[in-house]
Chain A
Amino acid sequence: MMLIYILFLPVAAGVVALLSERVSRRLPGWIAFLGSAIDFGLVTYLWAGGKAGDPSSGGWISQFQAPWIPQAGITFHLAADSISLLLLALTTFLGAMASLASFTEIRERRGFFYLCLTWTIAGIIGVFLALDLFLFYFAWEFMLVPMFLLILLWGHEDRFRAGVKFFIFTQLGGLLMLAAILGLYFTHGRVSGAYTFDYQALLGTAMGPRAATLILCGFLAAFLVKLPAVPFHTWLPDAHTQAPTGGSVILAGLLLKTGAYGVLRFAVPLFPLLMQRFSTVLEILALVGILYGAFLAFAQEDMKRLIAYTSVSHMGFVLLGLLSGSSIAFQGAMVQILSHGLSTGALFVLVGALQERLQTRDLSRMGGLWSVAPRLGGAAMVFALAALGLPGMGNFVGEFLVVLGTYGSNPVVAVIAAFGFVLSTLYSLRMMARAFFGENREGWKIPDLSMREAAIMVLMVVPLLWLGLYPRTFTDLATRPAVSPSEGASGQIVQPPSEPPEGAGGEE
């Protein structure tokens, strides 16, 4: 039942926020913030309470199942294992931050804005919880419309083009995934006679190699677009740049993670052998993403676009970590998912704050802002250092573990990926130097961070330091995703020998 509350709390908060605009213009933001914050509380409560895990549940901490469209074998099946919980914690936390960051930026139709914001978050939560493939697809598509509206209605100068590009790219990927899901459904149904969309039933479906390849390609089409992997990334810089601050935080911090989640929850467990065969191609895509994204970030004049391209680079590490069979790399990918969400989210909040003050995101017009707004500069420095992988911050742990884990199986890939560190230093420091140091040529005089903005920065840096200094809290949870007990026994999932699976008690 808890999962139902977690899923529907943002939906309800959005509706209340919409209605509350009539009472007060400030109320919608607070309601959206409180909704996400309470949701975060529920997730941590579940985390704290369910850590022991029932051994018979196969690693699932909480489940909920109800009939939905029984005629087609569709159930409303939610389930959370420790990985879902980590991602849910990130989702609800960033949701609260995104609401808080939009208080002053959004001036008109606030109620509707926060409705779209919270509903996007609800869709993302649905993706992280769905264990029925139809429900997964439903949630996957569900988040598109409110996200599109966020970009279209409150975005910047080129919002229509950016919003439509985002929508069409992800929708095309989503429809290919629908075809793949249905392919899997019919294949499983013909073999077993039971037509169902249930994840656990579909695991281990026997398929011919050609059908399996086609179905996997359908899934990957959706996941690689969202992740994004080069060459499917072109929607990302536009959408991130044109979205309002809250939208950018959610896009970079959460929406991209749904692609990673898809790979680890569906692509790898459903097609363990085939994914190994695909891994060379995907590793190359990941490497290209790491280097090409960093390279393009280095060349940007638009500060928001710069940060957007860094996402392409950082998500390359995530993909790499998910592909390598090693559990260290997998944990690295999970840590990277969390840290990237926090650090990039915070950077987008900062750019948003700058844009509110300067009315521009153009790096060439900035300069010398540190002396004018030292707190803003300091906060930007912290998160830029996090992004470049300074030890002590989560990003370092994540990228380091990914490279370390990959080195064992594929040293060449690991070495090439390590060049990403160099490039990330270049673009991060260049951004800092252009914006905050040097000469204040345009004579900017801007107010420094307000209490609210400073609070956001502090709230976001704490978990980032935690991830960097004591990652064990998170890596212990980030063992392999849970599957049903019978499937776990079939040997499809390689259990790491060294790590005690605390979060997934059923797999021992």
Chain B
Amino acid sequence: MSPSLASLLPLIILAGAMPFLLVILCFVRSHGLTFYVTLLALAASLAALATVTPLGAPKVGILFVFDGLFFFYGGLLLAGSLAVVVLSHEYLSGRPGDVEEYYVLLLGAMLGALVLVASRHFASFFLGLELLSISLYPLIAYRRSAPHHTEAGLKYLILSGVASAFLLFGMALIYGVTGTMDFASIGARLMGLVSGRPMVLAGTVFITVGIGFKIGLVPFHMWAPDVYEGSPAPVAAFIATISKGSMIGLLLRYFSHVSLSGHPGLFAIFAIMAIGSMFAGNLLALFQNSIKRLLAYSSIAHFGYLLVAFLSAGPFKVFAITYYLVAYVATTLGAFGVVTLLSGKEHDADGMDAYEGMGRRSPWLGGMLAFMLLSLAGMPLTAGFIAKFYVVAAGIGSALWALVAVLIVNSAIGLFYYLRVIAVLYRSPFAEAPPCPSCGIKARVVMIVLLALVVWWGIYPSHLVTLIQATRIAQ
């Protein structure tokens, strides 16, 4: 096998699995078979990533780079997608309608996410982004039973389209000034740039709009609560973790070449987005009566925290962001996992009343959700605690006092709504609520693994720290 082919293997496996599944579906429609093929494809891709990719060439063509960042983020996202697929299987079992195409779309979205974290060129960046987005539109609207599912899909489609247009325009502006679409060359040419700075700034801002939309940063966050609420719970989990995580990977790579410090205006824009995301996310979450909307706003706030680390300089920067993302992905998957497992055939478990007294009716699921919320709040014994510690450390190490102060105030605000949900979980139910649906063994394993990881990384993070510290971004 040629070195470049070896590097590409994780992408090739996913890309091959999609048509393979479609061909199978022409002959056999079986939910179980589709599920296992998808699971196998993702697992094979993860295995290839871990074993074959490090042996291959780090740079393939002009589009891709398979460096430490790809290795770590790709692994994280693939592992996360395994959990999403298992949860999806649990969620889709017994639902009416055809469910098999769901998995094909999921593979497509995952392929897009992998392309994003591997890309080092505007072309592959856009390719990955669109692959991810286009797969997500139908996934969000996959259940067409109620109007708000379709509404969520349409909303995401239109807003995402606008964001892509901005992104393309930004890329065009940067290309117009530098004459290249390769990240490293852009960074090198911008260094010695004398004229055309406003155009570069405008271009970078437009690119930031596109990225900010995908991550859900204020002021491009409007879609998040509606889309989370309207999409099936596992798809919401996918958007919250894998879609956003891949954009963070791309953000890190792009801005490792293009220096932020050269543009004070850009720094200010990111700082405003961080502060806005923290405040808007936390304040709006205070008034939510739907768990999914609440998690959406909380996720907006969390990426605001993450931006604080992003704006810092020095040794902690990439490390703090990556640790935070790992903790966030594991925790959010756990929280959405509970939502998925509690969802009935007709509706997702969304309103607070569905969770009334959950901690008593079903101690494991209720306790799990409470634990994950505490991790999001950054309490000890959870990965979220260490993650928040590192983000604050990154901010203080770079003397970003104002941003750290905002972060601290917002952590206190955020505590309120997490505690409110926990109080609901342990309140006595008003009426005799139906017993919790029992979940299958696969979903149980996934949930226990997530719980174990969040506890492990919260108590003894040393291994993960070593792993992340070894992550390098190729220059």
Are A164 and B419 in contact, with the CB atoms below 8 A? yes
Instruction: Give the residues from 384 to 405 in chain B that come closer than 8 angstroms, CB to CB, to chain A.
Output: 385, 389, 392-393, 396-397, 404
Shortest CB-to-CB span from B72 to chain A, Å, is 16
From the candidates B381, B412, B415, B465, name the one contacting A142 in the complex (CB within 8 A): B381
Name the A residues within 8 Å of B462 (CB-CB).
67-71
Which residue of chain A has the shortest Cβ distance to B363 in the bound complex?
A112
A172 interfacial contact with B, CB 8 Å: yes
From the candidates A138, A152, A172, name the one contacting B423 in the complex (CB within 8 A): A152
A183 interfacial contact with B, CB 8 Å: yes
From the candidates B404, B412, B469, name the one contacting A179 in the complex (CB within 8 A): B404
Name the A residues within 8 Å of B409 (CB-CB).
172
Are A182 and B393 in contact, with the CB atoms below 8 A? yes
Known A-B contacts A69-B462, A178-B389, A186-B397; the reply to A171 vs B411 at CB < 8 A is yes
Shortest CB-to-CB span from A292 to chain B, Å, is 25
Known A-B contacts A152-B426, A167-B419; the reply to A71 vs B465 at CB < 8 A is yes
Name the A residues within 8 Å of B12 (CB-CB).
none
A160 interfacial contact with B, CB 8 Å: yes
Name the A residues within 8 Å of B392 (CB-CB).
175, 178-179, 182
Instruction: Give the residues from 406 to 433 in chain B that come closer than 8 angstroms, CB to CB, to chain A.
Output: 408-409, 411-412, 415-416, 419-420, 422-423, 426
From the candidates B393, B408, B460, name the one contacting A68 in the complex (CB within 8 A): B460
B195 interfacial contact with A, CB 8 Å: no
Are B412 and A183 in contact, with the CB atoms below 8 A? no
A284 interfacial contact with B, CB 8 Å: no
Digitize A138-173: 1 where CB-to-B-CB distance is under 8 Å, 0 elsewhere.
Answer: 110110110011001100000010011001100110
Are B465 and A72 in contact, with the CB atoms below 8 A? yes
Are B408 and A179 in contact, with the CB atoms below 8 A? yes
Interface size class on chain B is: 20 to 34
Instruction: Give the residues from 458 to 474 in chain B that come closer than 8 angstroms, CB to CB, to chain A.
Output: 460-462, 465-466, 469
Are B380 and A142 in contact, with the CB atoms below 8 A? yes
Name the B residues within 8 Å of A163 (CB-CB).
419, 423
From the candidates A71, A148, A149, A152, name the one contacting B466 in the complex (CB within 8 A): A71
Which residue of chain B has the shortest Cβ distance to A145 in the bound complex?
B379
Are B379 and A182 in contact, with the CB atoms below 8 A? no
Name the B residues within 8 Å of A172 (CB-CB).
408-409, 411-412
Shortest CB-to-CB span from A220 to chain B, Å, is 15
Name the A residues within 8 Å of B397 (CB-CB).
182, 186
Shortest CB-to-CB span from A392 to chain B, Å, is 42
Considering the chains assembled together, what is the distance between the CA atoms of A186 and B395 in angstroms?
Answer: 11
Are A164 and B469 in contact, with the CB atoms below 8 A? no
Shortest CB-to-CB span from A124 to chain B, Å, is 13
Considering the chains assembled together, what is the distance between the CA atoms of A497 and B466 in angstroms?
Answer: 50
Shortest CB-to-CB span from B415 to chain A, Å, is 5
Name the A residues within 8 Å of B380 (CB-CB).
138-139, 141-142, 145
B374 interfacial contact with A, CB 8 Å: yes
Name the A residues within 8 Å of B374 (CB-CB).
145
Shortest CB-to-CB span from A154 to chain B, Å, is 10
Instruction: Give the residues from 57 to 74 in chain A that come closer than 8 angstroms, CB to CB, to chain B.
Output: 67-72
A413 interfacial contact with B, CB 8 Å: no
Are B408 and A176 in contact, with the CB atoms below 8 A? yes
Interface size class on chain A is: 20 to 34
Name the B residues within 8 Å of A67 (CB-CB).
462
Instruction: Give the residues from 93 to 134 in chain B that come closer than 8 angstroms, CB to CB, to chain A.
Output: none
Name the A residues within 8 Å of B393 (CB-CB).
72, 182, 185
Shortest CB-to-CB span from A55 to chain B, Å, is 35
Considering the chains assembled together, what is the distance between the CA atoms of A365 and B296 in angstroms?
Answer: 49
Shortest CB-to-CB span from A136 to chain B, Å, is 12
Are B460 and A179 in contact, with the CB atoms below 8 A? no
From the candidates A142, A160, A183, name the one contacting B396 in the complex (CB within 8 A): A183
Are B419 and A148 in contact, with the CB atoms below 8 A? yes
Interface centre among A70, A72, A134, A139 (most CB of B within 10 A): A72
Name the A residues within 8 Å of B419 (CB-CB).
148, 152, 163-164, 167
Shortest CB-to-CB span from A22 to chain B, Å, is 12
Instruction: Give the residues from 440 to 475 in chain B that come closer than 8 angstroms, CB to CB, to chain A.
Output: 460-462, 465-466, 469
Which residue of chain A has the shortest Cβ distance to B408 in the bound complex?
A175
Are A168 and B385 in contact, with the CB atoms below 8 A? no
Name the A residues within 8 Å of B465 (CB-CB).
69, 71-72
Are A182 and B423 in contact, with the CB atoms below 8 A? no
Considering the chains assembled together, what is the distance between the CA atoms of A153 and B409 in angstroms?
Answer: 26
Considering the chains assembled together, what is the distance between the CA atoms of A71 and B461 in angstroms?
Answer: 10
Name the B residues within 8 Å of A171 (CB-CB).
411-412, 415
Considering the chains assembled together, what is the distance between the CA atoms of A171 and B411 in angstroms?
Answer: 8
Name the A residues within 8 Å of B426 (CB-CB).
149, 152-153
Are B411 and A175 in contact, with the CB atoms below 8 A? yes
Shortest CB-to-CB span from B383 to chain A, Å, is 13
Considering the chains assembled together, what is the distance between the CA atoms of A211 and B351 in angstroms?
Answer: 47
Instruction: Give the residues from 167 to 208 in chain A that come closer than 8 angstroms, CB to CB, to chain B.
Output: 167-168, 171-172, 175-176, 178-179, 182-183, 185-186
Known A-B contacts A145-B379, A178-B389; the reply to A71 vs B469 at CB < 8 A is yes
Considering the chains assembled together, what is the distance between the CA atoms of A149 and B425 in angstroms?
Answer: 12
Considering the chains assembled together, what is the distance between the CA atoms of A139 and B459 in angstroms?
Answer: 12
Shortest CB-to-CB span from A242 to chain B, Å, is 13
Which residue of chain B has the shortest Cβ distance to A71 in the bound complex?
B465
Shortest CB-to-CB span from B401 to chain A, Å, is 8
Which residue of chain A has the shortest Cβ distance to B393 in the bound complex?
A182
Name the A residues within 8 Å of B420 (CB-CB).
160, 164
Shortest CB-to-CB span from B268 to chain A, Å, is 22
Are A164 and B412 in contact, with the CB atoms below 8 A? no
Which residue of chain A has the shortest Cβ distance to B397 in the bound complex?
A186
Considering the chains assembled together, what is the distance between the CA atoms of A142 and B461 in angstroms?
Answer: 17
Name the A residues within 8 Å of B411 (CB-CB).
171-172, 175
Shortest CB-to-CB span from B448 to chain A, Å, is 17
Shortest CB-to-CB span from A370 to chain B, Å, is 37
Known A-B contacts A141-B380, A179-B392; the reply to A164 vs B416 at CB < 8 A is yes
Considering the chains assembled together, what is the distance between the CA atoms of A69 and B381 in angstroms?
Answer: 14
Considering the chains assembled together, what is the distance between the CA atoms of A315 and B412 in angstroms?
Answer: 25
Considering the chains assembled together, what is the distance between the CA atoms of A58 and B359 in angstroms?
Answer: 49
Name the A residues within 8 Å of B416 (CB-CB).
164, 168
Could you show 16 A-B contacts with beta carbons less than 8 Å apart? A68-B460, A69-B462, A72-B393, A134-B389, A139-B380, A141-B380, A142-B380, A148-B419, A164-B416, A171-B411, A172-B408, A175-B392, A176-B408, A182-B392, A185-B393, A186-B396
Given contacts A141-B380, A160-B420, A160-B423, 12 further A-B contacts (CB under 8 A): A67-B462, A69-B461, A70-B462, A138-B385, A139-B380, A148-B419, A164-B420, A167-B419, A171-B415, A175-B408, A179-B404, A186-B397
- 10 closest residue pairs by CB, A with B: A142-B380, A182-B396, A172-B412, A175-B408, A71-B465, A141-B380, A160-B423, A182-B393, A164-B419, A138-B380
